[in-house]
């Protein structure tokens, strides 16, 4: 499917308009000066203009090169560089300068590292909280190849939300998520909840990769059954003709339907929409779930 629906073109244009302002230029300049990467850039996020104009970004730690070759992702695939030991402090310092109250940070998958980058995640989280008391943090982690100790390392830094994306329904993993495993990703969520029930868990699914309604319904049920608290649902947009094509563009009504289904499945908070991404309105989603967490 090659033709973009008009509503997607219009939304992306509105977001890109934000990049033409001085505020967005300032955000980009500060990131560049500190040699910091963002998902906004590397994953070609359609919301980049809005976020940069507000002085916000989703930080990408551990470089901009992934060791896996997922067919849907725009992040570069090659031999990655060693971790930058000064990166966590630079991120924490910039978050403090920007006055951020809620920070999402993630990484490419780093299967080349013994702990998958877990210690780097933990140090970033620790410094964010040390330099900005009261800040809320949401590390969005890879699966660490199922390593429990790596997961414990991240949870030990006391994030407010632990994110790990399921990304798609089980049947599509073989062709689109090289090196990943559906059940292993579910176990990341379940193990996080088992180890630290006080920390909210979060996941995300992209729609439009060719999933069937019954498969998506099962994926929602699987996540809820494994202890996932927060969920995002967004439209998959192919980064290029070399990536996996879009099989279906969902309408606003369909996103509303699946949000209703997800809430009925037991999630504490759900955000569902065409341009929703893992970090989109993350602070608001967290705040929505808090009253239910204490029940």
Give 110-141 pLDDT, tens digit per residue. 999 999 999 999 999 999 999 999 999 999 99
pLDDT of residue 139: 98
pLDDT classification of 1: cutoffs 50, 70, 90: very low
What is residue 244's DSSP assignment? P
pLDDT classification of 170: cutoffs 50, 70, 90: very high
pLDDT classification of 32: cutoffs 50, 70, 90: very high
pLDDT at 210 over 50: yes
Q: What is the spatial distance between Cα 128 and Cα 79, in angstroms, rounded to a whole number?
A: 28
Q: Coil, helix or strand for 235?
A: strand
b/e string for 193-221 if b means 16 or more Cβ within 10 A? Answer: beebeebbbbbbbbbbbbbeeeebbebbe
pLDDT of residue 85: 97
Question: 6-293 is classed in which CATH architecture?
Answer: Alpha-Beta Barrel (3.20)
Q: What is the mean pLDDT of residues 25-36?
A: 91
The model carries a pTM of 0.91
pLDDT of residue 229: 98
pLDDT at 94 over 50: yes
Give 34-71 pLDDT, tens digit per residue. 999 998 665 566 666 566 666 667 999 999 888 887 76
pLDDT classification of 182: cutoffs 50, 70, 90: very high
Is the Cβ–Cβ distance between 151 and 184 less than 8 Å?
no
Considering 11-15, 72-76, 184-188, 243-247, the range whose residues carry the highest mean pLDDT is 184-188
The crossing angle, in degrees rounded to 10, of helices 213-225 and 182-195 is 30
pLDDT of residue 10: 75
For the chain, the average pLDDT equals 89
How many residues are listed for the chain in this entry? Answer: 295
């Amino acid at each position: 499917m090659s033709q973009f629906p008009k509503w997607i073109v219009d939304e992306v244009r509105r977001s890109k308009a934000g990049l033409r302002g001085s505020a967005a230029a300032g955000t980009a300049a500060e990131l560049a000066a500190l040699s910091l990467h963002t998902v906004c850039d590397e994953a070609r996020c359609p919301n980049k203009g809005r976020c940069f104009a507000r002085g916000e970004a989703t930080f990408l730690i551990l470089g901009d090169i992934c060791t896996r070759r997922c067919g849907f992702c725009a992040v570069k695939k090659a031999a990655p560089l060693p971790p930058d030991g000064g990166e966590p402090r630079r991120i924490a310092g910039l978050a403090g300068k920007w006055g951020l109250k809620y920070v999402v940070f993630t990484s490419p998958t780093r299967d080349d590292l013994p702990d998958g980058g877990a210690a780097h995640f933990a140090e970033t989280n620790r410094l964010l909280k040390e330099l900005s008391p009261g800040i809320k943090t949401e590390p969005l982690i890879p699966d660490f190849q199922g390593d429990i100790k790596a997961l414990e390392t991240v949870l030990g830094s006391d994030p407010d939300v632990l994110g790990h994306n399921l990304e798609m329904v089980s049947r599509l993993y073989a062709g689109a998520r090289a090196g990943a495993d559906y059940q292993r990703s579910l176990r990341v969520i379940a193990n996080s909840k088992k180890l630290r029930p006080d920390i909210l868990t979060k996941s995300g699914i992209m729609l439009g990769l060719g999933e069937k309604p019954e498969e998506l319904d099962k994926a929602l049920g699987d996540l809820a059954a494994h202890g996932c608290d927060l969920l995002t649902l967004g439209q998959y947009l192919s980064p290029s003709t070399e990536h996996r094509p879009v099989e279906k563009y969902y309408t606003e009504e369909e996103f509303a339907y699946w949000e209703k289904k997800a809430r009925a499945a037991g999630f504490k908070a759900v955000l569902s929409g065409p341009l929703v991404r893992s970090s989109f309105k993350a602070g608001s989603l967290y705040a929505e779930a808090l009253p239910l967490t204490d029940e």
